[in-house]
Structure 1
């Protein structure tokens, strides 16, 4: 009897996948990518494990190759990797490779392998062994790599704005080769960035003495000269400001002395912001003086601040626009209904006339201006005796 065939056609036999392929087929896409990332050829991020917390053998073997060979070969390998990173402007990685190259050059030479020696101490030459190195030629090549790594690391530090480190790398370069133009140029740029203009000028001058037509050094020389001119202008303006301020202070002191107005400072000076004792003409001691004045209302713990109280003003002139006070619900404060008191040099109180000009009050010699501020107590007449008694009790007078 004939066997019936399926509607979909005859069934085809499928071959089994190799074990490795079967394992991949059973893995997710993420698992496959993670496994590939542990292979040095496919790495996109550094994974130093085997996926289970162990050592990545392939990666460790690859890293070990970087330290195979002579010191020059190891350093040259790192230098080339540094150059590749620098071309991509990967300054951190480039700097790291140059540093590794320098470290490799400073490492002590490898000790001979005991297996390569016989009992008499004569090295056995095997097939494939390299001939002995020309030590002088090797030192020359090492010096060339070291010079290149220092001057290139100076560039990395320059790009990262590590200016002092860049200057140090340039100095190391020039100790190896006093004629390295790049070292002079990069040192000059770093010194200019730090406003170390004499050093920048020196580096530029030395470089141009070796290569007078160097365009980069000529451009740097122009920038240094421009910066020097700018800083000299800034310094000149600063000196002029200081000289002017000193002259104004001296003129103000002369004006106060001529009016017999005494001043003093304390350790608890208040912040008056831009308010201060000023002359209308800062360089003319005979011009009008103005004072910051604080009007205190001790009975109510309130105050008013007058930033510029002219020496020719009277207290009444200011009270007329300040009154009525918004918080004076009992209407106790009026120009004619208050008295004004100031503290004397001895710590007591003196009553001052509301219609007397300020320069006469301050020039009486009985009071002073403390911390650049004139203090006046404004008290309702009905409370004057109580205020005086309280102040006497507080001062002990």
Structure 2
């Protein structure tokens, strides 16, 4: 059989899948979403080379424009990177052969470089400000102002960074210097108001803190005086308990002669149990509080009743003193034999029938050891 008649004309286009179409587009710089340097793509290499053609100022300007585009899109990390590349280019050697220039053109090129460098410093400061890198923002503003002390944007961004860091005097100074350059600048005027408002708030908070500390100091002094006049020995240990809101207090906080309230730790040593009386007024007796503590829920043998217990309180000499249940606390404390440890009183409750044995053991095991 004879060969079929050959088809004359162009070969029909090959049908591509969606993935294949996207892959082809990725080879065209205009449509690229991932410029992978490892891809062998002459078009891309030529596109990249454009960024590095020309004088140092021209290359830096190219990076600066890319940074501006990223900044307009609020892509702060990318924008910062482009400005950084522009600044690095300006500090480096010329990237292309110097052209034959007419007289005066070299000076014009130098002026252009300074303008690009100033713009890159102040724009990178904006990126740092938006990224909340406030110290870096200030550093870039300082570089800008070294080049041009009249750069209002640098003063504004430096003042904003200082305000964010709560460096109010520095923020106010930067804002004032910017207004010296442009007294009608609305952004600086608004920022000046924010700085003043923050200053007023900090002053108010500081005044309240000082007032609170002075009040606390006076209350502490009143309690110290109250303990001294009542002849109550006090002692601090290296590991005071966390009593939270159980504190020594006066009925009238600044009056040492007003009724004193003291926390008291009730211990049941033979049962390894405790109770805490957070506020034991000096006019109250032990019986006033024991009446709601006893009977205790864990006393299955009913050994702890108001009539069958004795109460002992430690003395500064590591001894014990028997405390009368009906005596007001102020009379017990007036003897000077009951010690206040870490701003708390201690009282041991034991069944009377077992008191002698417990006291003997206490002297052997606790003698010389304080609670």
TM-score by length of 2: 0.91
Shift of 1:289: 0.6
Matches for 1:47-86 after TM superposition, within 5 Å: 47-50=36-39, 58-86=43-71
Structure 1 contact 188–200 (Cα < 8 Å) conserved: yes
SS in 1 for 2:307: helix
Residue 252 of structure 1: aligned partner: 223
* Bigger Rg over Cα: 1
Structure 1 contact 38–49 (Cα < 8 Å) conserved: no
CA distance in 2, matches of 1:178, 1:261: 68
Shift of 1:34: 4.3
Matches for 1:178-327 after TM superposition, within 5 Å: 178-327=149-298
CA distance in 2, matches of 1:266, 1:17: 99
SS in 2 for 1:335: coil
Structure 2 contact 311–322 (Cα < 8 Å) conserved: yes
CA distance in 2, matches of 1:59, 1:347: 90
1:201-225 deviation per Cα after TM superposition (whole angstroms, max 9, x unaligned): 1111111112111111111222222
- In 2 relative to 1, CA 76–388 (structure 1 residues): closer, same or farther, beyond 3 Å? same
Matches for 1:155-174 after TM superposition, within 5 Å: 155-174=126-145
CA distance in 1, matches of 2:301, 2:42: 92
CA distance in 1, matches of 2:54, 2:185: 38
Question: What are structure 2's unaligned runs of at least 5 residues?
Answer: 1-6
1:266-305 deviation per Cα after TM superposition (whole angstroms, max 9, x unaligned): 1111101111000011101111111111111111111111
CA distance in 1, matches of 2:74, 2:32: 20
Structure 2 contact 56–96 (Cα < 8 Å) conserved: no
Q: CA RMSD in A?
A: 2.3
1:119-172 deviation per Cα after TM superposition (whole angstroms, max 9, x unaligned): xxxxxxxxxx94337321111101000100111111111111111111111111
SS in 2 for 1:336: coil
Residue 33 of structure 1: aligned partner: 22
CA distance in 1, matches of 2:11, 2:260: 103
Question: What are structure 1's unaligned runs of at least 5 residues?
Answer: 1-12, 113-128
Residue 381 of structure 1: aligned partner: 352
Structure 2 contact 54–95 (Cα < 8 Å) conserved: no
- In 2 relative to 1, CA 34–329 (structure 1 residues): closer, same or farther, beyond 3 Å? farther
Runs of 4+ residues over 6 Å off in structure 1: 13-16
